[in-house]
Amino acid sequence: MHYQGSCHCGKIAFTVEGEIGSVVECNCSHCRRKGYLLWFVPQAAFHLTTSPADIETYTFNHHVINHHFCDVCGCAPFADGKDAKGNPTASINVRCLEGVEPSALKITQFDGRSR
């Protein structure tokens, strides 16, 4: 499936392809506060459609995930990093995808607080 996503104001926009099987709700200090529901895809399935210059980035803890957000509306629609095997991965905040109802998705809990 092909999805379109963006921050609230639209300054950051992207497309992503794949099937949303389930999403991850992490309880780490960052994800919990932001309310993320994350869908992980290979980086090649993610395509930024706006300028990378419009993206701000935040890292914390081990500094291996780049959490991207908009400097206008503050919305954080995606992040990037690597999976456990070292493959480039995008983590999509499904709350920022058009036409996706988060309550209809299978949510898997992840204990990021303990890592």
Q: Where are the domains of the chain?
A: 2-110
- Tell me the CA distances in angstroms from 63 to 29, 40, 46, 97, 109, one per residue in order: 14, 18, 21, 25, 22
Which class does domain 2-110 fall in? mainly beta
With bands split at pLDDT 50, 70 and 90, how would you rate the model's confidence at 113? confident
With bands split at pLDDT 50, 70 and 90, how would you rate the model's confidence at 60? confident
* Tens digits of residue pLDDT in 15-29: 999 999 999 999 988
Interatomic CA distance for residues 72 and 10, integer angstroms? 10
pLDDT, mean of residues 83-96: 95
Interatomic CA distance for residues 34 and 26, integer angstroms? 10
Supply 6's token pair.
Answer: 């963006």
